[in-house]
Structure 1
Amino acid sequence: MCAIRHRAASGSAQVHHGRVRITRLGHAALLLETSEARVLVDPGAFSLDAAFELSDLDAVVVTHQHPDHLHPARAADVVAASPGAVFLADPETAEQQGGPWRTHADGVVTQVGDITLTGVGARHATILPSIPVVANVGVLVEGPSSDGGTTTLFHPGDSYESTPAGVDLLALPLSAPWARISDTVAFLSGVAPRGFLPIHDATIADVAYDLYWNHAVNHGGVDAEQAHRLAPGDTLDA
């Protein structure tokens, strides 16, 4: 059972026993919290300010170099606020950022407290033939669930190429310059998660949001009760 809470994440650590708490921080950014770890994914230029006010993180994961996934002007602030964290990024971003950033590649597994982070995929989706394709490594996040077992979330970054098995909750890129709604729905169907939540939606006008969301809900093959329409700042207990 998942429950949505409408409140923003706090800057410092909190304890969440026996489950993963997922907070949307705008566009592609997610904060994942358990009793042992706090992990931030893709703090980009379209993220809430709250994404850059977090401290004492245990890990930061960046799927690729585009500014809506890693804010170039605020990346150093993220590092400075959590000096003890593990910083993981695709090979190109890790090389560009240097310092504490480690390469997070397909199949690489990193343990952070009771959260397991596994790299998935290698390349960003094609935007235009004239635009170079950059590296993109999604992340499978496995942590404790509220029923005493485990739950697995998949954040694919900017790619619909990889469809790993056993995903409980998919962070679904809802709109992008590289995607049609038919691609989005096919990806959701291919992953076949138990549930999903939206990411990568800052480019959708409010008046058009229902159009994108309803296509995913009605045609993606997932139980509508497990379609979690989280707005930026909302939290889901998985």
Structure 2
Amino acid sequence: MQLTHLGHSAVLVEVADRRVLIDPGNFSEAWHGLTDLDAILVTHLHPDHIDPEHVPALIAANPSAAVYVEPQVLGQYDLPTARPLAADTEVDLGGVNVAAVGGLHAVIHRDIPQIGNVGLVMSAPGEPTFFHPGDSLATIPLGVDVLAIPAYGPWAAMKETIDFVRQVNAPHGFLIHEQLLGPRGWALAFGRLGEMGPATLVDLRDRTPWAPGA
């Protein structure tokens, strides 16, 4: 498995001869122009997770890619080739299993209605299991080897994120959802989560592919 953090919540997962892009949102441009994708996955409808301006071009540049999105995304965006990926369902991407977990976005405020959100647990025989939670810390899958950890969002506090990292108990992790933080805020989150959680964290801000355990 190789993981490339392409900014904010966008992660390219290369495993079992498949290239899978998660959450191509509008807080990042590093995923623009990607080709040879086998799948594009979207955890929820917020534009920092699916960029309405550039995702159609991404799909057009990857005509063979399967597109799976949290079901509410289909009502918000015109994605003719997309299929729904609801919580508690799984899809097979040709040797890569994707299990959708959770179902709801974290609460931002009691006056803001909750939307759907699916965390994505990706696994393949003989490879680490990777968990991308989208924008929710509510679901704790078992057997996660690599955790994408939201560094900051208006829906989370540090104390909640630390408890989430501890409960998932993955040995490896890296920060995502970081674009609302400056360098000092990122360093604070990286340091605290690394000190107080079980995961060994890696800094993937330079967009270099990383092979967990290598």
Same fold (TM over 0.5): yes
Letter in 2 for 1:106: A
Secondary structure at the aligned position of 1:196 is classed as: strand
* 1:130 counterpart residue number: 111
Secondary structure at the aligned position of 1:201 is classed as: coil
Match of 1:102 among 83, 98, 114: 83
Q: CA RMSD in A?
A: 1.3
Provide the rounded CA distance (Å) in 2 between the counterparts of 1:80 and 1:208. 36
How many residue pairs match? The answer is 211
Letter in 2 for 1:217: G
Letter in 1 for 2:203: R
Provide the rounded CA distance (Å) in 2 between the counterparts of 1:221 and 1:153. 16
1:152-175 superposed Cα distances (whole Å, 9 cap, x missing partner): 000000000000010000000011
Conserved in 2, the CA contact under 8 Å of 1:87 and 1:101?
A: yes
* 1:83 counterpart residue number: 63
Conserved in 2, the CA contact under 8 Å of 1:140 and 1:155?
A: yes
- The answer on 1:66 being equivalent to 2:66 is no
Provide the rounded CA distance (Å) in 2 between the counterparts of 1:113 and 1:237. 20
Match of 2:92 among 103, 111, 130: 111
Match of 1:34 among 11, 15, 29: 15
* Distance change in 2, residues 1:232/1:45 (3 Å): farther
Of stretches 91-100 and 160-169 in structure 1, the one that deviates more from structure 2 is 91-100
TM-score norm. by structure 2 comes to 0.94
Q: CA deviation at 1:35?
A: 5.0
Show structure 1 runs of 4+ deviating over 4 A: none
* 2:35 counterpart residue number: 55
Q: Which structure is higher in RCO with an 8 Å CA cutoff and minimum separation 6?
A: 1
Letter in 2 for 1:81: A
Structure 1 spans left out of the alignment, 5+ residues: 1-19
Provide the rounded CA distance (Å) in 1 between the counterparts of 2:134 and 2:185. 22
Secondary structure at the aligned position of 1:183 is classed as: helix
1:184-227 superposed Cα distances (whole Å, 9 cap, x missing partner): 101000111111111001111112222111110111133xxx21
Q: CA deviation at 1:229?
A: 1.8
TM-score norm. by structure 1 comes to 0.85
Letter in 2 for 1:193: A
Provide the rounded CA distance (Å) in 1 between the counterparts of 2:139 and 2:87. 10
Structure 2 spans left out of the alignment, 5+ residues: none
Letter in 2 for 1:69: H
